[in-house]
Structure 1
């Protein structure tokens, strides 16, 4: 029927697979249990579409519908139980932009002045979390950035050590008896799997100095990985922008390090620039994140263990604003 055909066409448009690769249970061939599941899916889909239409019409609470290139995230029970109640509240209210910012308090007629006490500009959520220049000068935004960078660097370091450990270990031949078969081992893919002598520097605590053997520059990427044996260098640059500016931040970081990439290549090095964007409300940008291994690495260490820390850090920024107002 028409609905089944539309569903298959939608699936083929969203993926690289062709029409016919997705199958859907026919109502006439389904048993009572399967029919019940089909009805539940259709009702859930209709409710989700209605909710999305309503959210799009909301200028403030529906701003999340305009987040492009952002990985969807569903809070699991483990996330909920592991996070403090105040952090869960902050997370939910920040997504729907209903936190008690001076701008919102003024709209709700609970405050007389909607401006920022530090710079005098409109103190909405975007300004507090990503645009206040005095907060930037005081290092508050840098503190949040470095907390996320520490999580990312830890994940990259674990992957680097694992590659070195596997390459230096003993490799035994696995014999297979006649008539038996064994599953083929998966070969590691990605840049890290191409060398076993990776060195790493991170722009934390002390100023990072780019390896002079690769190129002479004053630029300081957040993470630098390089292999002398294979003449490869990887730059990882983290940005924590407002969610609606993820794409802009990605393009800006690509352009910023383009000259360094070209100079490294001219000096005989294979060079990669990998910008990573994490929204200031804890969302992960998907621009430039390719391959399952890279997605797992970034997702595990940024959305996982570092998530509650980011919520707490951003909550402190909002708390500081309120203290300046009442002090």
Structure 2
């Protein structure tokens, strides 16, 4: 099983350099770094590992949901019992980094550290309106109308629809394409209603650390002016 993650990161659409950037910049304790690498190598002692690798007489079924096989990938991105809690918390933390950076860029008072930041549902200044996890009212019915962050910049006459996903690492390409398709109708409708240029910016990070090549590019090429700090914290956290 060793080497599967490495081979995955060598294939498109993975940005290999950014995927491994945390090893140089995250400054994690050695034990934490070792645990992450062990998870990437599928070397954690899950029930599936005990059954298939150690040949012990145990059920390989997940002890949390009692449905799927208890593999590393299942634990970090596929367990229905963890989806409403741990997966949601992880998703919200990634979104909070972006929200915090936008606030800092536009002079909105925030905590000094991103992990202490609690996003407000609505943030407004003279230049921007930013909505957090809010349904956007539209003239015609749009099924997907609640992106994680909607940032309208009146000064540049642009709107960013930022949506975050942390899927299983092998699914980052599929999830990125899904996000673009999901919000395509909303992008067209907002452009029509607000008479502005609207962009969909999917931020897709694999549960074990893979980075979609277009996630960083999407932030970097956006017109919000906050991408540099956001990218550094997303892919090379403090």
What TM-score, normalized by structure 1, do the two folds share? 0.56
Aligned to 2:95: 149
d(CA) in 2 for partners of 1:242 and 1:145? 13
> Is 2:157–2:197's contact at 8 Å kept on the other side of the alignment?
yes
The secondary structure found in structure 1 opposite 2:213 is coil
Secondary structure at 1:259's aligned position in 2? helix
Q: Once the 2 structures are TM-superposed, how far is the Cα of residue 293 of structure 1 from its aligned partner?
A: 4.2
Check conservation: 1:214, 1:269, Cα contact below 8 A. no
CA distance in 2, matches of 1:255, 1:90: 35
Cα distance in 1 for partners of 2:75, 2:104 equals 34
Structure with bigger strand share is 2
Quote the residue 1:114 is aligned against: 60
Aligned to 1:69: 13
Mapped partners of 1:236, 1:292: distance in 2: 9
Distance apart, 1:244 and its partner CA: 1.2
Give 1:91's aligned residue: 36
Instruction: From 264, 287, 297, give the equivalent of 2:190.
Output: 264
Confirm whether residue 285 of structure 1 aligns to residue 227 of structure 2: no
Contact 2:97–2:230 (CA under 8 A) maintained in structure 1? no
Structure with larger Rg: 1
Aligned to 2:106: 160
Higher RCO (CA-CA < 8 Å; seq separation 6+) = 2
Question: Does the Cα contact within 8 Å between 1:66 and 1:244 map onto a contact in 2?
Answer: yes
Q: CA deviation at 1:286?
A: 1.5
| Count of aligned pairs | 207
SS in 2 for 1:272: strand
Unaligned runs of at least 5 residues, structure 2: 109-125, 222-226
Please, what is the CA RMSD of the aligned residues?
Answer: 2.8
Which consecutive segments of 4 or more residues in structure 1 shift more than 6 A? 213-216
Matched, 1:123 2:60: no
1:149–1:214 distance in 2 versus 1, CA, 3 Å: farther
CA deviations 1:154-202 (Å, max 9, x no partner) are 123223339xxxxxxxxxxxxxxxxxxxxxxxxxxxxxxxxx7122122
Task: Give 2:47's aligned residue.
Answer: 102
- Is structure 2 residue 123 aligned with structure 1 residue 197? no
The secondary structure found in structure 1 opposite 2:160 is strand
Distance change (3 Å), C-alpha of 1:291 and 1:272: closer
Q: Deviations over 1:231-254 (max 9, x none)?
A: 421111111011111110000000
The residue that corresponds to 1:27 in the other structure is none
